[in-house]
Homo-oligomer: A and B are copies of this chain.
Amino acid sequence: MFFASDNTSGVPQQILDALGRANDGFSLGYGADTLMERVRDKVRTVFEAPEAAVYLVATGTAANSLALATHIQPWQTIYCHRVAHIEEDECAAPEFFAGGAKLTLIDGAHGKIDPEALRRTLDEAPQGVHHVQRGIVSLTNLTERGARYSVAEVAQIAAAARAHGLPVHLDGARFANAIAAEGCTPAEMTWKAGVDVLSFGGTKNGLMGVEAVVLFDPSRAWEFELRRKRGGHLFSKHRYLSAQMDAYLTDGLWMDLATRANAMAERLEAGLVAAGVRMVHPRGGNMLFVEFPLKAHQALRAAGAVYYDWPAPPPADAGADFPHQARLVASWSTTEAHVDGFVERLTAAL
């Protein structure tokens, strides 16, 4: 009953096998390995983007920060949601990589940027020399609250950016989950909707620590490479990143993993709703934000269930019926037994 985060799970056997295969012999370093050529081809095929520049890094913070820094100037601002990962969970890495740029926070329900609020903010941004300049719009799908932008909604955000000539970044730490749930193609969710640069997550969906950055417009590719190196994010034994991403994109593994995680979250949601639990945010993929009485929380914890209180632990004086809120994340390795056990315990406690 481990629902703390999708990054607390391991990796599937295919990934271990791929590492084993990649380990044979000598290989040129720093991205010149032959596996990386295959990865590049596969990413381009998956995204129907034959010109895209594709790079691997090991963390989502690196992917986001390098992608953003490559598209803005230090005196510009990044428009993102108030609860975006780049705002709340990266210790100001985007500001660091972008040389002191700013983040401008936009509101919106369920972690989704409200397009009208974005439009208004962009329209009203003063552009004189005293003010930070408009830089880029960054959105996250799935959002930090587990919701999902539809393709049309991504396009709406991108159109607001485009109206001011701004590029669009998509933080896709859970991109696979979003695609799997939305039932669209990767191209539809990205460049066809107006996205210029994607952090294409692998780590939360079954890799050890591999994210791809996909630059649909390759004109800044060399700058990205220099920023990656300078940030300490270019791996000498790069083949071990390549091997994982290669296996991830083989025979649809990445979609299978995300589909399984989503299905487990759906099953969990169904069980919880049947038990009368309130969903705080609509489920977009593999994450649930739920509200249930404190007594249920206590029973679950006593039974060894692991998940985050969200947004906060219960007050010290909260009673048994206090409406406690929590975050539950399913991953590719979540099983029906985990889910059903969790639902049973909770139902029993109510």
* A interface list, Cβ under 8 A from B: 2, 4-5, 7-11, 16, 19-20, 22-30, 57-63, 65-66, 73-75, 77, 88-93, 95-103, 129-133, 203-204, 208-209, 223, 225-237, 240, 306, 333
Could you list 28 A-B pairs, sorted by A, with CB under 8 Å?
A7-B236, A10-B27, A19-B208, A26-B333, A30-B129, A30-B130, A57-B232, A58-B58, A58-B235, A59-B234, A74-B92, A74-B99, A88-B130, A88-B131, A89-B130, A91-B131, A92-B100, A93-B230, A93-B232, A96-B231, A97-B232, A99-B99, A129-B225, A129-B234, A130-B229, A204-B236, A209-B240, A231-B232
> DSSP majority for the A interface?
loop
Chain B residues, Cβ within 8 Å of A103: 102
Q: Is the CB of A91 within 8 A of B229?
A: yes
Give the residue name and chain of the B residue nearest to A15 (CB).
B23
Number of copies: 4
Q: Is the CB of B27 within 8 A of A23?
A: no
Q: Give bound CA distance, A208 to B96, whole Å.
A: 27
Chain B residues, Cβ within 8 Å of A20: 16
Known: A23-B10, A27-B8, A208-B240. A61 touches B229 (CB 8 A): yes
Chain B residues, Cβ within 8 Å of A237: 7-8, 10-11, 203, 208-209
Q: Is the CB of B65 within 8 A of A92?
A: no
Q: Give bound CA distance, A147 to B22, whole Å.
A: 32
Known: A7-B236, A203-B236, A236-B203. A91 touches B230 (CB 8 A): yes
